[in-house]
Structure 1
Amino acid sequence: MGYQPTCNRARGRLKTAQQQNIDKQILCLHHAMAEKLIANHHYLSQIIETIEARYECGRMRYGAYLFWSSLLEHIEQPTLFMDTLLEDSPQLRAYRRQTPLVGILTEQERQIALEKIMQT
C-alpha cells in the first residue's frame, strides 16, 4: 500500500515533465510566430477572424478573448508584444495552448523552430 502513492507521485512527475516539454515547444513556436507576425502584419486580419469566430461559437472564454484582442493592439510595440506573449505564467501557458495564432508558420518554419529546442 505504501508503494502506490509513490507510484502516483512518479506518474504525476512524469506528466508534469511531459507538460513542461510541451509548454517549452509551444513557447518556442510562439516566439517564431510572434517574430513573423511583427514582420508581416498581413496575418493580423486572419488572427482577428480566428479570435472572433472562436469567441462567438463559445470555444474561447471572455478572458482569453480580451487577452488576445488587447495583445494584438500592441503589435506596433514589439518588445511589449513579445514579453507579454512569452510571459512564463500559468495563465499565459494556458492561453498559448489554445492559441489563435494559427496558419502563420509554414511546416518548414515550424520544424526549424522546434529544432532550436533540441539544440538547447
Structure 2
Amino acid sequence: MHSHPLKRNKKRQYRLSKRSIKDEYIDKQIWLLHRAMTNKIIKQPQLTQQVIAKLADFREQGRIGYSDYLHWLCLLENVNDSQAFNDGVLENSNKMKRLRRQTPFVGILTEQERQAALTAEAIGIIDHPDILFL
C-alpha cells in the first residue's frame, strides 16, 4: 500500500516551517535593529530605565504577558555583561524572534541609527520590492 504523497513522513530529519521568506526577511531586519540597540544600550546603560518604563507600559496596556515581561527584565539585568546581554537579546530562537517583534526597545535608536543598522550589511539597495518576485 502506498502512502499519500502529502502525508507527513515520520522518518524525515527536518521540520517543515510555516514561516515565509517574508517572515525571514522581517526577522533579519528586526535582528539587525536589535543588534544596534543592544550595542547602544551597552554603551549607555542608563537607557535601560527607558526600556523598563516601556515594559511597564506594555504590562499596563495588556500588550505583554507576565512571562515575557520577566524575560525582558532578566535580559536587562545582564546589561553590564555585554556578551550575555547580546547573546540573550539576539538569540536565534522562536521565542526571541517573537519577543523582538514586540520590542520594548522603542525609541532607543535615532532614525539615522536605524537606517545605518539596516543598511550596514546590505549587499545592495532594492529600488522596488517587485524585483524580489521576478
- Range into which the TM-score falls when normalised by the shorter chain: 0.7 to 0.9
Q: Which whole-Å CA distance do the structure 1 matches of 2:104 and 2:121 have between them? A: 22
Taking the aligned partners of 1:58 and 1:35, their CA distance within structure 2 comes to 28
Residue of structure 1 equivalent to 2:105: 101
Who is 1:21 aligned against? 25
The CA distance in 2 between the partners of 1:76 and 1:40, in whole Å, is: 10
Q: 2:96: which partner in 1?
A: 92
TM-score (norm. length: structure 1): 0.84
Match of 1:33, as an amino acid? Answer: M
Q: What do residues 69-119 of structure 1 show as CA deviations (whole Å, max 9, x unaligned)?
A: 111111010000000110101100000000000111110010010002413
**Equivalences for residues 50-61 of structure 1 within 5 A:** 50-61=54-65
Could you say which structure has the greater relative contact order, defined with CA pairs below 8 angstroms and 6 or more residues apart? Answer: 1
| Structure 2 residue runs without a partner (length 5+) | 1-16, 125-134
| Corresponding position of 2:115 | 111
1:29 aligned partner, one-letter code: L
Name segments (4+ residues, structure 1) moved above 4 Å: none
**1:39-98 deviation line (CA, Å, top 9, x unaligned):** 011211111110011112211111210111111111010000000110101100000000
2:80 corresponds to 1:80: no
RMSD (Å), alpha carbons: 1.9
* Larger relative helix fraction: 1
Q: Which amino acid aligns with 1:65?
A: Y
Amino acid at match of 1:58: G
Identity among equivalent positions (%) equals: 42
The CA distance in 2 between the partners of 1:37 and 1:63, in whole Å, is 22
Q: Number of residue pairs matched?
A: 109
- SS of aligned partner of 2:46: helix
Q: CA–CA distance in 2 between the matches of 1:119 and 1:82? A: 24
